[in-house]
Structure 1
Amino acid sequence: MKGFVSSRLHPVVNLLLLVVIMFAAFCVAGFLIGVLGNVFYGVGIFALGNVTQNPAAHPNGWAISMMSQGLLLFVGFGGAALALVSLMGYRWADYFTPRRPVSWLWLLAAATVVLASIPFMSGLVEWNAKAHFPAFLQDLEAQARELETRAQVLTKFLTHFNTTARFLVGVLVIAVVPAISEELVFRGIIQRNLVQWFGSRHVGVWLAAAIFSAIHFQFFGFVPRFVLGLILGYLYEWSGNILVPMAAHFTQNAFQLALLYVQQREWTTSTFDPDSTESLPWPWMGASLLLTGYLLYFLHQRWQAERVAAPTEMHVLSSSGVAVARPQAALPAGHTLGGTGIVEAKPTEPRARN
């Protein structure tokens, strides 16, 4: 399928196009939020900002904030990523999941890796939360901590699930939508283009993880989110399917929401604070680090094995975009893999022996 823009643009141009499209998508999302807020809650577009900044002061503040957050992520991030791929003439499945289908083992392992890393991550959370700026940046540190305190207050309000319906909405907005939208942008577009730009998987994964963490604007949570970005990035590189990091991302968010909901319903006597910066006991963190490392090593070895195995479905880049070639057990005699798929090889004259 021929796109409106060339599929062979430099990765830097692709990234700049993504920024432009995201800006337009956020404008569309803002318009939708304004219309829906006015229709369903009687809140004008100019009053929405006050409601989302202090939702506790408005009778429909929780619903409006959830709607705003969901639409901004879904349209502004996910919609922009899908729009860019369509403009380049690719099918979404060909671009984001060049290796499909993946084994269920990849999805299960991705979720397990994230769960296994939680105790170790708690140590990074505590260390990062106690970090300090240099002396000459003390004012900036005070402002950063104040912003994060406000974000924590908002998070506690939005994650107060006094009904099952609220919990399900929370899972949709805080777990499902970010897992889809953020992975399409950060792994599917940004990481892919960074890998192509620098010609290195590792550089692309690490830079994309840094951007992923920085864009959340939480300095005192930068390191653990950066490490999570690394895990998600390598899961995408090794699996070749965007569904794998999506599964991991969803598990990370949904697990914390589930723990919080169980506590709020008083189904357990344990307490869980999503904003807590206290680390778990060091034996747990050590075991978590070892288990996470082993699981990542296992997936890396599986990726290496699948790279050398005979493919069941191949994607080749032709003049018309990404083409799918499904070979039989072996290439037919006298055929080879060319730029447009499987083509007949021209015979060559045998060399004369000296």
Structure 2
Amino acid sequence: MGHVTDETCQWQGWREATERALYGPGGFYLRPEGPAGHFRTSVHASPLFAAAVARLLGEVAEELGTAEVDLVDVGAGRGELLTAVLAAVGPSLSVRAYAVERAARPDGLDPRVEWTDRVPRGVRGLLFANEWLDNVPADVAEADATGTARYVEVAPDGRERLGTPVTGPDADWLDRWWPLREPGARAEIGRPRDEAWAAAVASLAAGRAVAVDYAHLREARPPFGSLTGFRAGREVPPVPDGGCDVTSHVALDACAAAPDDGLPAPELVTQREALGRLGVSGGRPPLALASTDPAGYVRALASAGEAAELTARGGLGDFLWLTQRVPGSVHRPEGPGAPGPRGILAA
């Protein structure tokens, strides 16, 4: 990219710039290759992940006392998770599958999957959002030399400057969830993510909503934020020109507090613990199996390796799972559909 002068540069807040770069004309997430062409998620790491989601869906169906259940995949990529879950569920379960995504429906997708840019309302079942909230665009704030939190503005080539002071609801959010106390400290303002999650939870008539993501909690926020980029499997500087993913970790404790107070307390656990409950273990098979069933031993060893990747410390196992249960007795407000897969209302 050629040099862009300040006089001709279009400076924007990071939220607006990210929305344009990821979901505007020619945006990163609208490209044919989809997210799988640039980074590896748990969905792509192993079919064990989809099998675990299938077991979770079965648990939800049992709780609801039904053999007909909805499965909503928010931020569905190209439908990889839904395809694998539908293949993994048993014949006793009838699944209505919804892929919520801003990109066009991919060719060859299972015809049982309904493709939509809006979270459906009245869902009875499981709403699952794997690495969705980290791509809901958020503004970035930085404390100036006086300790005043200011919005960070960015140019299309990635250069930054400090803008106006953060005020209003964004300032309230920072005060509660991510105070900036030292000059140079930075934060991603997670309020749009809180709102997107609350709207997604509100779409459920009954069941569970689960968000899985890179995350941090209030007692251990990254001092300089976590904004970064990814392209073709590599971490790169976050440049909002449409050429790379622009993402940041999620303040999931703030998201957890966003839905209505009338719901049961949410749960936050690591992916390691969540998958362990669903039968995914990285333990090696017994060596004796190698002599009694060599082929079975090789299969079990491969499965253990995949499970180990999904539950690894310092890797995918450190992702957090936010679970919000919605009892059928809780009144869900009527209204328009919940926001689309990146937290922006579909047109």
Q: TM-score, normalised by structure 1?
A: 0.28
Q: Which protein has the bigger strand share?
A: 2
Q: Which protein has the bigger helix share?
A: 1
Q: TM-score, normalised by structure 2?
A: 0.28
